[in-house]
Homo-oligomer: A and B are copies of this chain.
Amino acid sequence: MVLKYNIIYKKIKEDIENGIYKVNSKIEDEKTLAKYFNCSRMTVSKALDLLVQEGYIYRKRGQGTFVLSKVKQKNKLMVPERDIKGLTKITKESNYSISSKVLFFNLEFADKKLAEKLQIKEQDPVYNILRLRIVDNKPYVLERTYMSVQLISGITEEILLNSVYDYIENTLGLKIASANKTLRASISTEEDQKFLNLKPVEPIFEVEQIAYLDDGTPFEYSISRHRYDLFEFTSFALKQ
């Protein structure tokens, strides 16, 4: 379906990225934009709200709407802040090569902590997977993944070498909706050092994640340990 606010959002975003609107310059007021896009002011406002949240523009009551200077993106793999995608998709979209090694793939009974995270019963069967993901021929991240067997059935080594998220969405027909992430720095373990080719003094950027389907079911609990020099995370915050 064609969403008007999405069209307006994309158009203005493009114009900013292409320099048609300069940094700190004022853009048209909402009434003018509403006439131009042949829609109501509410719809324009919704589109501008999206751009405010992403840090493209800021609005001042009584004055107008202005272009905010965006920080340029670095020459690193960009993990989207507010979206949820598998690493396979992220790398492909950025034209990086990716391959995976399955280091461990087993069935286990959920312990208490894991059962709580995945909202299943203690002793319910879960996959325990450890994969090394190699991006651009460099070891990038060591991913430990737990998923409920009852929910995500039929995982094979073949699937683990490709995209698990693709399998969940396209083969199982489930919809991935959201994720909670906790980020921290951590001392590298011997395992990290071995597989990510790190010196003992080199740390890890750890991301702990619970991902949810569109019916609110947590389907994945994962701990990703990234090479500290190949991963960074960007965030935009607004004063409330």
Whether B228 pairs with A185 at a CB distance below 8 angstroms is yes
Q: How far is A191 from B60 in the complex, measured between Cα atoms in Å? A: 42
CB of A3 within 8 Å of the partner chain: no
Residues of the B chain whose Cβ atoms lie less than 8 Å from the Cβ of A237: 80-84, 178-179, 181
Whether B83 pairs with A240 at a CB distance below 8 angstroms is yes
Q: Given the known A-B contacts A84-B237, A184-B228, are A214 and B58 also in contact in the complex, defined by CB atoms under 8 Å?
A: yes
From A65-73, A93-101, A143-151, give the one contacting chain B.
A65-73
* Per-residue interface assignment for chain A, residues 80 to 110, with 1 indicating a CB less than 8 Å from any chain B CB and 0 otherwise: 1111100000000000000000000000000
Whether A182 pairs with B233 at a CB distance below 8 angstroms is yes
Residues of the B chain whose Cβ atoms lie less than 8 Å from the Cβ of A123: none
User: Which bracket fits the contact residues of A?
Assistant: 35 or more
Q: How far is A239 from B133 in the complex, measured between Cα atoms in Å? A: 22
CB of A216 within 8 Å of the partner chain: yes
Q: How far is A82 from B55 in the complex, measured between Cα atoms in Å? A: 12
- Considering only residues 25-55 of chain A, those with a C-beta below 8 Å from chain B are 55
Residues of the B chain whose Cβ atoms lie less than 8 Å from the Cβ of A66: 215-216
Residues of the B chain whose Cβ atoms lie less than 8 Å from the Cβ of A215: 60, 66
Partner of A239, one of B55, B68, B177: B177
From A12-20, A153-161, A200-208, give the one contacting chain B.
A200-208
Q: How far is A119 from B68 in the complex, measured between Cα atoms in Å? A: 12
